[in-house]
């Protein structure tokens, strides 16, 4: 796990004369992603340069330092991520005559790209963002993993393409911060999303699309071919047998865990009381005999949180549990500042703060942490999937199943909540009006209000409603979550690995008939079946799903409500064209719903980090 930077000249104009100074600033901006080593290379013809900061995970020797060059001196790569199946790929390459001098996955990735080019990318099982260079031809291949687990930010300016794991590395190279992107900020403030969108929070800065690769051919200048999708979801759900699905899910999940335990540094696990992380904890112990350090963050009353279940699982499987308490109330504002700095944006999930604290504690003991992220979007674990599943069951004539799913939903949201979801998910216009019912039209400028609503859960009687909404959630909603998982873990120089993101498991999940996902009143039915006999029944078959609740919103609202800095930050947002002029000098923020206050205050802290006091940017020479 690392951080990468590249500057690529698309036209006749070469690299700036002070490129070495700019590269140093850029790598310092992302050094938290790779504190163990740093390296850079400048093309002798001034066409491109590569930079890298390394978090050593595989082959801890200096031989793994990047940019990594082929022995012939023609090819180089800078790579952020992990290729979990590198051992199998290496064995295949050795059979074809390749030899290796390191134990790193980077060398395997480079060799595979040299031999097979872009066609090698779909064979990778892992998470990545990389730039692969053919120094002889000047061709450069960019690629990002299937789910967008690893970030890749791009800005084109003055005939040069600047590429970095974090936007702030680009700003450090430029020596300035671009203006805010009002449309992206408006999408966040009104609808709570932004992490999955192509355009980030800064004008001109975009995210390279997930599941895409792109060749840059320098002689072609700005007429580059667009990024090309190398992977997509299965279109047919042909697996209908419970027994077959159970066996295959169990086998693939076990192997996904196995290859994510490959590491030359200590590995731990993030453990809640939920099905996903407890299943991983159980499989680790049952199949590999490896007790791990496990980390769980609790909130509120210990006994009413998921802490008791985490303790039970840790004790049963021999893991050493580290209980991470809630952060100090007086620290919440500074912690959120840290979050928005590392995200290069604000985020809708208040869980970013306790997750940051969890990563801080985990990094004291381990460098790699397994997580349960990604299971809900494949196996239908969220309440939002209940209504699509119920409508599909009705279309099949299975009215009893439809009733059980509806009753499950009402047990958590209430019957009024079920009816409200039915109305808003059936009528996008109503959903939009509900999402912006907090007077955004009087507080936000027209440019910010123009932020378009992302796709959403939509209901229909096609019989494929659940499948379509699962795909949307996995493609877009999951990217929004992975954005903060990467940012917070890498802020602590910690690598987060997610077995449920194994592409083989995802492909199987999207090949399962949807009646295997929500069944007999249980979400994630087939995953529960796969974990039977591994987990205690009271965990495998509980209907309870507390989620990652926390008190961040309440603490932030209280702290910012009494902060003397609030007016200054509001005025700064007005000056930047985000808030209307009439917002100056008023306490209007206190009248908004708590979740909207959280969004507003998060945005204000982001404004201050990048356009206000800027102590972190100034330390980088920006």
**pLDDT tens digit string along 331-353?**
999 999 999 999 999 998 999 99
> What share of the chain has pLDDT > 90, as a percent?
70
What is the average pLDDT across 200-224?
87
C-alpha to C-alpha distance for 98 and 466, rounded to whole angstroms: 46
614 falls in which pLDDT band (50, 70, 90)? confident
Give the residue with greater pLDDT, 453 vs 359: 359
Q: Is the pLDDT of residue 6 over 90?
A: yes
> Per-residue confidence at 480, pLDDT binned at 50, 70, 90?
confident
Percent helix, strand and coil across the chain, each rounded to 5?
50, 15, 35
> Given its phi and psi angles, is residue 127 left (phi above 0), alpha (psi -120 to 50 degrees) or beta?
beta
**pLDDT attached to residue 596:** 92
The answer to whether the CB of 201 falls within 8 A of the CB of 193 is no
pLDDT at position 300 over 80 = no
Q: What is the pLDDT of residue 543?
A: 59
Cβ neighbours, 10 Å, residue 75: 18
Structure-model confidence comparison of residues 303 and 296, the more confident one: 296
**Residue 28 φ then ψ, to 5°:** -65, -30
DSSP state of 205: -
Q: 186 near 432, Cβ under 8 Å?
A: no
CA atoms of 487 and 149, how far apart (whole Å): 10
pLDDT at 433: 75
Mean pLDDT computed over 402-420: 85
Q: What is the mean pLDDT of residues 393-420?
A: 86
Q: What is the DSSP letter of 209?
A: P
Q: What is the mean pLDDT of residues 163-171?
A: 97
pLDDT at 41: 97
**Is the pLDDT reported for residue 610 higher than 70?**
yes
CA–CA dist 23, 31 (Å, integer):
12
CB atoms within 10 A of CB 188: 23
Q: For the residues 98-109, what does the mean pLDDT come to?
A: 97
CA distances from residue 30 to 149, 172, 539 in whole angstroms, order as listed: 17, 10, 40
Of the listed ranges 125-139, 148-162, 298-312, 368-382, the one predicted with least confidence:
298-312
* CB-based contact 604:333 (threshold 8 Å): no
Segment 592-614 mean pLDDT? 94
Confidence band, pLDDT 50/70/90 cuts, at residue 16: very high
Q: Which residues contact 572 (CB under 8 A, 6 or more apart)?
A: 604, 607, 608, 611, 612
Average confidence (pLDDT) over 498-504: 98
What is the average per-residue pLDDT within 460-472? Answer: 91
pLDDT of residue 545: 56
Rounded Cα distance, 571 and 573, in Å = 5
Of the listed ranges 46-55, 90-99, 546-555, the one predicted with least confidence: 546-555
Residue 369 backbone zone (phi > 0: left; psi -120 to 50: alpha; other: beta): beta
67 cis-preceded (ω within 30 degrees of 0): yes
Q: Would the pLDDT of 424 be above 90?
A: no
535-583 pLDDT, tens per residue?
988 888 885 555 555 788 999 999 998 888 899 999 999 999 999 999 9
CA 339 to CA 346: how far, in whole Å?
A: 8
DSSP string, 289-354: ----EEEEE--SSGGGSSHHHHHHHHHHHT-EEEEEPPPPGGGHHHHHHHHHHHHTS--S-TTHHH
String of DSSP letters for 354-398: HHHHHHHHHHTT-SEEE--TTHHHHHT-SGGGHHHHHHHHHHTT-
pTM: 0.94
**What share of the chain has pLDDT > 70, as a percent?**
96
More confident residue, 194 or 143: 143
State the pairing for strand pair 48-54/37-42. antiparallel
Q: Which of 17-21, 244-248, 324-328 has the lowest mean pLDDT?
A: 324-328
Cβ proximity of 26 and 164 under 8 Å: yes
Q: Is there a contact between 489 and 367 (Cβ–Cβ < 8 Å)?
A: no
Distance, first Cα to last Cα, the chain? 26
Cβ contacts of residue 614 below 8 Å, gap of 6+? 608, 622
Q: Is 374 left (phi over 0), alpha (psi -120 to 50) or beta?
A: left
The pLDDT of residue 221: 59
pLDDT over 60 (residue 222): no
**Residue 72: CB atoms within 10 Å:** 9
Phi, psi angles (nearest 5°) of residue 294: -115, 145
DSSP-assigned beta bridge partners for residue 529 = none
Q: Which has the closest alpha carbon to 512: 244, 240, 252, 254?
A: 240
pLDDT category at 519 given cuts 50, 70, 90 is confident
Q: What's the pLDDT score for residue 176?
A: 95
In the chain, the domains with their CATH numbers are 2-229 (3.60.20.10), 242-381+474-540 (3.40.50.620), 384-449 (no CATH), 556-618 (no CATH)
Cα(325)–Cα(263) distance, rounded to whole angstroms? 28
The answer to whether 112 touches 85, Cβ cutoff 8 Å, is: no
């Amino acid at each position: 796990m690392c951080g990468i930077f590249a500057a690529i000249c698309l036209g006749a104009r070469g690299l700036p004369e002070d490129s070495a100074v700019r590269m140093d600033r850029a790598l310092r901006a992302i050094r938290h992603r790779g504190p163990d080593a740093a390296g850079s290379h400048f093309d002798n013809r001034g066409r491109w340069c590569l930079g890298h900061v390394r978090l050593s995970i595989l082959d801890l020797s200096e031989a793994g330092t990047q940019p990594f060059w082929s022995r012939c001196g023609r090819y180089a790569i800078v790579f952020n991520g992990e290729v979990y199946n590198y051992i199998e790929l290496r064995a295949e390459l050795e059979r074809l005559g390749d030899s290796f001098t390191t134990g790193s996955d980077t060398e395997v990735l480079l060799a595979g790209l040299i031999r097979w080019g872009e066609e090698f990318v779909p064979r990778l099982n892992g998470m990545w963002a990389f730039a692969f260079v053919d120094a002889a031809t000047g061709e450069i291949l960019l690629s990002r993993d299937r789910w967008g687990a690893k970030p890749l930010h791009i800005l084109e300016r003055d005939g040069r393409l600047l590429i970095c794991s974090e936007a702030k590395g680009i700003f450090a190279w430029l020596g300035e911060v671009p203006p805010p992107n009002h449309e992206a900020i408006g999408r966040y403030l009104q609808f709570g999303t932004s992490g999955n969108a192509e355009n980030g929070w800064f004008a001109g800065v975009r995210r390279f699309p997930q599941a895409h690769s792109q060749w840059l051919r320098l002689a072609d200048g700005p007429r580059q071919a667009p990024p090309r999708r190398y992977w997509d979801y299965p279109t047919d759900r042909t697996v209908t047998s419970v027994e077959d699905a159970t066996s295959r899910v169990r086998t693939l999940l076990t192997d996904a865990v196995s290859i994510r335990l490959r590491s030359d540094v200590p590995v731990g696990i993030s453990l809640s009381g939920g099905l996903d992380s407890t299943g991983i904890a159980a499989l680790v112990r049952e199949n590999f005999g490896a007790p791990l350090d496990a980390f769980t963050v609790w909130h509120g009353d210990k006994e009413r949180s998921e802490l008791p279940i985490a303790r039970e699982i840790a004790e049963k499987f021999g893991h050493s549990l580290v209980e991470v308490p809630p952060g100090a109330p007086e620290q919440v504002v500074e912690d959120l500042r840290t979050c928005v700095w590392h995200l290069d944006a604000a985020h809708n999930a208040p869980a970013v703060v306790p997750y940051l604290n969890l990563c801080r504690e985990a990094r004291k003991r381990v460098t790699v942490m397994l997580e349960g992220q990604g299971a809900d979007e494949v196996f239908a674990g969220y309440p939002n999937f209940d209504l699509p599943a119920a409508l599909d069951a009705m279309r099949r004539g299975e009215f009893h199943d439809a009733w059980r799913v509806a009753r499950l939903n009402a047990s958590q949201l209430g019957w009024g909540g079920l009816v409200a979801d039915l109305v808003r998910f059936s009528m996008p216009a109503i959903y939009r009006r509900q999402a912006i019912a907090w007077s955004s039209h009087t507080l936000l400028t027209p440019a910010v209000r123009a932020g378009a609503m992302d796709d959403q859960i939509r209901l229909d009687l096609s019989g494929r409603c659940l499948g379509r909404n699962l795909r949307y959630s996995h493609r877009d909603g999951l990217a929004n979550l992975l954005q903060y998982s990467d940012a917070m873990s890498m802020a602590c120089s910690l690598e987060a690995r997610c077995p449920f993101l194994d592409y083989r498991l995802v492909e199987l999940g999207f090949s399962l008939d949807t009646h295997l996902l929500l069944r007999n009143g249980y979400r994630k039915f087939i995953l529960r079946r796969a974990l039977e006999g591994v987990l205690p029944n009271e965990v495998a078959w509980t209907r309870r799903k507390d989620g990652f609740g926390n008190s961040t919103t309440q603490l932030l609202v209280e702290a910012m409500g009494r902060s003397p800095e609030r007016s200054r930050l509001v005025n700064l947002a007005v000056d930047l064209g985000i808030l209307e002029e009439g917002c100056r000098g008023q306490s209007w923020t206190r009248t908004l719903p708590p979740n909207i206050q959280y969004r507003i205050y998060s945005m204000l802290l982001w404004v201050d980090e990048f356009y206000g006091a800027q102590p972190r940017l100034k330390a980088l020479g920006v």
